[in-house]
Amino acid sequence: MTAGSVQPRKRRVLLGVVTGLGLAALAALIIALFWRGPEWVDGINPDHLGKNDGPKATVIAGLRTALATCLVGIAALVGLYFTRATYQQNRAKDQEQFALAQKQFELAQEAQQKSRAESQEQFALAQRQFELAQETQRQNRISDEERSELAREGQITERYIKAVTLLADEADGALTARLAGIYALERIMGDSQKDHETIVKLLAAFIRRHAKITSEYGEPVRDDVQAALTVLAHRLDRPESFVIDLSHTDLRDAELATARLERTNFVHSILNGASLTGAHLSKANFWMAQLKEAVADGADFRSAHLLETEMWTLDGTGADFREAFMRQADLRGAHLVDAKFDGADLTEAKFMAEDGTRIAIVDTEQLLVATVSQGTLLHPGIKDDPVMAAHIRECDKDLFGPNP
């Protein structure tokens, strides 16, 4: 209850007291008039009326009836007043209770809003702390990864230096050291993708240095050279934008079965007697290279450059020469059963010796899908075949234009 509501209540109480006193006085006056009113008004004493005072008795009765009616009216007014006062009091009390309840509701709402705001602030603070913890954790993880990467790089660098040192040991009896260096480089290449190209080029340089062509009749590849070739041939399959350079190398009798040496440069290299079974050699460059007596069954030579390549008695069973550039290639005595020559350029290639010996094993159907010129040296049984003869004329027309 507020101070503002106390003053009206006091005024209502005071007004009620005054009104009650006034009505009590009025009632007392009416009672007095009821008893002594006739005597006061008309000088008639009700206590001394006789038998002949009938009219006076009538006046007294009428006056008293009027006073009784006034008294009843006053009583009704008093009742009505108190009823109204009670109603107003109850109404005021109800209003005060309603105002109090409304105030309590507003306070509860305010407290709830304050609590919600505090909860939101606490949630926002907790969320911010969580985000900060996450960011700190991320930064720590990045720092840890950077430190780990630096440590790893340091270890790889140290391993690389040791491997290169071993690889460079050319002292007598240092074969074991060189082999250790080669296999250490293989491990490093597997662990570090960014060192992949460097190690491939390093091993290729090692092979070129230690497998130089010194004579037409050389020795089979050394063990350390073979080890380096094996590492290159079976390295991890990663995107490469460079060409492996194995040009001018003597790789006779090398073991390169299933090797993955696409686009490799073998220009002027010797691979006589090498094992190339199932090797992947598409787009490799074998210009003026030697593959005499090499075993290349099932090998992939698609789009390879085989210009003037010597492939005497090559075992090319089931090999794929599609789209290969094989002009002036020497295939005397080669075994080419089931080999594919679709789109290959066999202009002036040799499939037998000029004296008619060392005839390559190949049939007409295999060569009808390739470019074969008049200068291509074929067994007469194939070249004189009407279908092949017509095919050669069409190829010559495409190569040199129509005859004048």
Q: pLDDT of 268-311, one tens digit each? A: 999 999 999 999 999 999 999 999 999 999 999 999 999 999 99
In single-letter form, the type of residue at position 85 comes to A
pLDDT of residue 44: 59
Q: How many CB atoms within 10 Å of residue 371? A: 23
Q: What is the DSSP string of 356-390?
A: S-S--B--HHHHTTSB--TTSB--HHHHTSHHHHH
Measured CA to CA in angstroms, residue 105 lies from 78, 111, 112, 246 at distances of 39, 10, 10, 92
DSSP state of 249: B
Task: Say if CB 319 and CB 298 are below 8 A apart.
Answer: yes
Measured CA to CA in angstroms, residue 253 lies from 86, 223, 249, 347, 389 at distances of 127, 12, 12, 29, 38
Q: What is the DSSP string of 43-69?
A: ---GGG--TT-HHHHHHHHHHHHHHHH
Task: Say if CB 245 and CB 208 are below 8 A apart.
Answer: yes
- The pTM assigned to this predicted structure is 0.67
pLDDT of residue 145: 78
Show Cβ contacts of residue 233 under 8 Å, excluding neighbours closer than 6 positions.
256, 258, 259, 260, 261, 279
Joined together, the tokens standing for residue 241 give: 């934008």
Joined together, the tokens standing for residue 66 give: 């009027």
pLDDT of residue 108: 83
Of 274, 157, 290, which Cα lies nearest the Cα of 225?
274
Joined together, the tokens standing for residue 371 give: 């470019």
pLDDT of residue 5: 55
Q: How many CB atoms within 10 Å of residue 96? A: 14
Joined together, the tokens standing for residue 339 give: 């080999």
Measured CA to CA in angstroms, residue 381 lies from 352, 362, 384 at distances of 12, 11, 6
Residue ranges, the chain, pLDDT below 50: 404
Show Cβ contacts of residue 72 under 8 Å, excluding neighbours closer than 6 positions.
none
Rounded Cα distance, 282 and 260, in Å: 9
Angle between helices 175-191 and 223-233 (to 10 degrees): 10
pLDDT of residue 59: 63
pLDDT of residue 404: 43
pLDDT of residue 57: 63
pLDDT of residue 261: 97
